[in-house]
Amino acid sequence: MVYDGLPMSVKALLEADNYLIHIDAKGVGWYYATDTVPRHAEVILLVTQFDKKGKDLKRDGKSIKLTPPGTVAPTGRIDLPVNFPYKLERVPKAVRARIVVRMASSGRIGTADLDLTGPPSAGVTPPGNATP
């Protein structure tokens, strides 16, 4: 099933099995800063690898806190996309990976599928917007 409630994309980086996950600005929900916690966004990331028959081989899940550049206001609207790297620890028999990203503030979910059989797509250099 495809989830497209969160506008996102995944691109291969120059190093093997390294990817850049990009979430468009309109999908990012930033939490306001408090006295003890700076401004941030949180995403839940789940990556599942499958064999050629569709069998689930490995799952990797994590929660990632992203911070905007230091120049943003502690409250109010921020119109910034987020970019963060992901290193895929590939299982030898895996032919496909599914990346699922859920924005913690809104619950919106986006997915991307990676073909692990072909050559990696053109590499990109990660931009420096928000950082984990």
The pLDDT tens digits of the residues spanning 44-103 come to 999 999 999 999 999 999 999 999 988 889 999 899 999 999 999 999 999 999 999 999
Looking at residues 110-126, what average pLDDT do you find?
Answer: 71
Q: Using an 8 Å Cβ cutoff, are 27 and 80 in contact?
A: no
Are the C-beta atoms of residues 112 and 62 closer than 8 Å to each other?
Answer: no
Domain ranges of the chain: 8-115
Give the per-residue pLDDT at 14.
86
- What is the rounded distance in angstroms from the CA atom of residue 23 to the CA atom of residue 99? 13
> Rounded to two decimals, what is the model's pTM?
0.85
Give CATH for domain 8-115.
2.60.40.2150
Separation CA 37–CA 35 (nearest Å): 6
Long-range contacts of 54-58 (CB under 8 A, 24+ apart): 57/91, 57/93, 57/94, 58/89, 58/91, 58/94
Q: pLDDT tens across 29-54, in order?
A: 999 999 999 999 999 999 999 999 99
